[in-house]
Structure formats: structure tokens, C-alpha cells
Amino acid sequence: MSHRYPESAVFYRTLDRELPLIVRGQGVWLYDEHGKDYLDACGGAYVANLGHGVGTVAEAVAEQIKKVAYVNGTAFTNEPVEALASELRTLSPRELDFAYFLSSGSEAVEAALKLARQHHVEAGRPNKHKIIARTPGYHGNTLLALSASAREHYKKMYGPWLVPVHLIGAPYPYRCDPGDPAMTGEALERAILEEGPDTVAAFIAEPIGGSSTGGSVPPAGYWQRIREICDRHDVLLVCDEVLTGAGRTGTWAAVEHFGVTPDIMTMGKGLSGGYVPLSAVLTSERVIAPIARGSRAFKHAQTFSHTPAICAAGLAAVRHIKAHGLVERARAMGEVLHAKLATLVDHPAGWSVGDVRGKGLLAGVELVADRATKAPFPRSAMIAERLTAAAQAEGLVLWSNVGHADGTNGDLVMVAPPFIITESEIDELVARLGRALAAIA
Ligand SMILES: Cc1ncc(COP(=O)(O)O)c(C=O)c1O
């Protein structure tokens, strides 16, 4: 049976190719209907952090569904939501003591930005409504989250529906000078002053770059400067940890590497390890206080927020991460991964590998036409897409990103395997990636 449009009844994300049908997953491996194995080197989309086939999470969800699957979060609370919020309180940056649960990263970003706005309105600052975000950067595909994202190929079509968001440069050490305002944080101060501090509600950014800058790590001092600027102008700092949170970079939240605490933090993807769709907005008493004193309700509600079944999966996943020391493992195996990926530079087919970077089990491999000048390939060469397709043929699942070099050109692939990956599986990952590079050379 064909798994392509229009033979299948599925409206696929891509309408131009046949998709393999995956029937089973175990550990870092996926298996298709013909028995071919795929090393899931990006946990799907940075989601399967625990690995595939963890029985305890599946059993916890099944048990909860048998007890009670759904209650409306306005009228009732439930055991898993209480327990999950308490667990997160022990893990998250200090002061982020309260958790609001949703189903996707985009929903968490929408809710986080709305929360920032409502905080200011109820604190008597109704003029504060503007959002500042970064380019390159990505926060989701619903309309407010997309407005705050710098993905032209997603935004172009929906431009008339998007709200204006002031985009400043993201720190991108491979392509920015150390003194660049994007690298020092100065770009944020300039943007706030340009917009008028009494009109700016929030600054949203990924603590360590996700796909958009290929795992770029900001320079020392960047996040402290950002925190100071936000404090000075009463702008809420929203750290989007949808991709980096839940241990991916070797600490529970990536922002912990930099010793600052945001006002609001989003999580998603790995929070449930992919066993159900689950995301969260974490925030502090200080942010909630004006709302608790004022209208006494967050003006945002969704049918599946705080529901028992999704929170049971999150609770089981978070307890599994803790019990198996998976955050520490992401840190240790991250070092192995980065050392082995660095060998691609000297691989016979590695002439196009310009940079390998990241933190913990988050790595970006940037491909360039000329290593000396860092000139990107022309977009028409479709290097990232071709490499991802060649890797899939080799049984290796990567995530690609394009356009980061200058808005149009730029090719990179992301490697972010489940935290349980072993050293020999990392060897296999790098070997398959080398063969894929050779196939497109
Ligand atoms: C940093 C970041 N924020 C938000 C999102 C949106 O999450 P979702 O696709 O679950 O809506 C993503 C998705 O890739 C992301 O990487």
C-alpha cells in the first residue's frame, strides 16, 4: 500500500514523497514495516528524550485513563497535575514555582506571551504590549508564536494575519563578531529604547539556539546582560525551553548554564518524552501576583489544559528522567557526541562541514561551500534537504534547517538523540552521517 499523496487518505505534511511506515520503536531505534532500522538521531523533533518503548510511561498513562482520563480544568483539579507541578518545582530554576499545562510548544508560547501582557495590564501598565524576539529564532506555528518567529518560509503566506514583533539579532558565534550588539545583548537595549520602554511587555528567546541557529551557545555574559536590561525596563523575560528543556543540554533547563532566572519559561517536546503531547508554562509568584489580586483568572483556557491523562505521562516521564539520572547522562554523552561529531571535519566527505557546536545532547552541524570564507551553499543546491534524505536512506533520522546564514541561504543538520544513547550507538550515528555526506558529495 502506498503512503504518499494522493493514494493514501492522509493529508501529509509533505505532498511530494512516499513516507516509510514506522511500526515500532525501541531505545534509539525505529523500525519500518519492512524491518529496516533507523537510528533516531533527533528523537523525532527533539522529543523522544527517554528513548522509545519505555513501558513505565505507557503503563502510567493507561492506569490514569482507566481511573479518569479527563476533567475540566476550570471546575476540578486532579492527582497527576498536582504531582507533576510539584515535581517541576523541585527541578526548575528557582522562583518558577507555578506550572500551567497545555499540549504543544506553540500553545505554551502563546500562553506565555499572553501571560506577560495580562501581568502588565493588571499591574497598571496597560501600554505594555509589544514583544521583542530574535532572528534567527523559532517559537511555533500558531499565529502569535509565528509572529515572534523568524521563519520567512512559514510567515510569508500568513503575513496579513501576523502581529508586529520587533526582531533583534540572535547570538550566533560562528557568523557574528564578538562585539556585535547581537552577541553582547546591546541589541535588546536598543530595541527597547527604540520602541519606548513603557510599551514593551516581553522579550522571548531560546537560551541556547535550537534548529534556527543550529545549537549556537551565546557568549559568556550575554544572559546576565539580557536579565539586567529586562529588569531595568520592566520587560518580562520569557525563555523558550520547548526544545532545550527537560535535560537536553545537560541541565534541566538550558538557562541554568548561564545562572539567570527568567520570569516565564516554556517547556514542551521532551517534557513527556513524546508519549503524549504535553507542554508547560512555568512562572513565579511575582508574575502571577497582580492577576491574583486583580481579575483572579488568567484570560486563557484550552480544553486539554491540566488534564489527568497528559499530566500522568509527564509525571511518569519526569520521574523516569530523575530515577535514571538522564540529565547527567545527557551531559556526559553530550561530550562523547561532540568529540565524535568533530571528527567529521576530517572525514573524506567532510569538506563541507564548517562548524559543529551545541551543548549536551544538542548538536548542530553547519555545512558551507567554503570553509575559509564560511560562504553558504546557494539555496538552490538544497544541501540540507539532500543530506537529510541521504541520511534517511542510510537509516539515520536527522533534523535540518535552512536560511540561517543570511535569511535565505544556510544549511545545517541537527543531532539530538535520546539521552539513553550508548557510545557504540554514537559511533554508528557518526558512521551513517559520514556515509550520507559521501552520498551527496
Ligand atoms: C524553541 C521552540 N519553541 C516552540 C516550538 C513549537 O512547538 P510545537 O511544534 O510543539 O508547537 C518549537 C518547535 O520546534 C521550538 O523549537
Q: Where are the domains of the chain?
A: 22-53+325-440, 56-323
* CATH superfamily for domain 22-53+325-440: Aspartate Aminotransferase, domain 1 (3.90.1150.10)
Domains 22-53+325-440 and 56-323 agree in fold: no
Q: What does pTM read for this prediction? A: 0.98
Atom of ligand 1 nearest to the CA of 279: 10
C-alpha to C-alpha distances, 381 to 18, 47, 155, 314, 384, nearest whole angstrom:
22, 29, 22, 41, 9
Contacts of 183 (CB under 8 A, 6+ apart): 171, 172, 173, 176, 177, 218, 219, 222
Q: By alpha-carbon position, which residue is closest to atom 8 of ligand 1?
A: 105
CA of 206, closest atom in ligand 1: 1
* 368 C-beta closer than 6 A to ligand 1: no
Distance of alpha carbon 83 from alpha carbon 90, whole angstroms:
11
Tell me phi and psi for residue 435, to 5 degrees: -65, -35
Contact 39, 428 (CB under 8 A): yes
Cα 238 to middle of ligand 1, angstroms: 14
Does any ligand 1 atom lie closer than 6 A to the CB of residue 136? no
Q: Is residue 206 in contact with ligand 1, taking CB distance under 6 Å?
A: yes
- Does residue 261 contact residue 93 with C-beta atoms inside 8 Å? yes
Q: Which positions ≥6 away from 264 have C-beta within 8 Å?
A: 112, 115, 116, 202, 236, 237, 238, 239, 281, 282, 283, 287
Q: What is the pLDDT along the chain (441 residues), one digit of tens a residue?
A: 899 999 999 999 999 999 999 999 999 999 999 999 999 999 999 999 999 999 999 999 999 999 999 999 999 999 999 999 999 999 989 899 999 999 999 999 999 999 999 999 999 999 999 999 999 999 999 999 999 999 888 999 999 999 999 999 999 999 999 999 999 999 999 999 999 999 999 999 999 999 999 999 999 999 999 999 999 999 999 999 999 999 999 999 999 999 999 999 999 999 999 999 999 999 999 999 999 999 999 999 999 999 999 999 999 999 999 999 999 999 999 999 999 999 999 988 888 999 999 999 999 999 999 999 999 999 999 999 999 999 999 999 999 999 988 888 999 999 999 999 999 999 999 999 999 999 998
Architecture of domain 56-323: 3-Layer(aba) Sandwich (3.40)
| CA 80 to centroid of ligand 1, rounded, Å | 24
Rounded alpha-carbon distances, angstroms, from residue 423 to 329, 333, 336, 381: 12, 8, 7, 33
Residue of 103, 104, 106 best suited for mutating to test ligand 1, as the one with most atoms within 8 Å of CB: 106
Contact 106 CB / ligand 1 (< 6 Å): yes
Round to whole Å and give the CA distance between 140 and 112: 12
428, 54 contact by CB (below 8 A): no
Atom of ligand 1 nearest to the CA of 105: 7
Distances, alpha carbon 200 to alpha carbons 116, 125, 162, 283, 427, in Å: 10, 10, 18, 19, 48
What's the distance, Cα to Cα, between the start and end of the chain in Å? 33
Q: Which atom of ligand 1 is nearest to the CA of 45?
A: 14
Half-sphere exposure of 255 (CA within 13 A, CB side): 28
Q: Is the CB of 333 under 6 A from ligand 1?
A: no
| C-alpha cell of residue 272 | 513527556
Question: Is residue 334 a contact partner of residue 426, using CB atoms and an 8 Å limit?
Answer: no
Q: Is the CB of 268 under 6 A from ligand 1?
A: yes
Amino acid at 126: P
The Cα 26–Cα 31 span in angstroms is 8
d(C-alpha 163, C-alpha 130), whole Å: 10
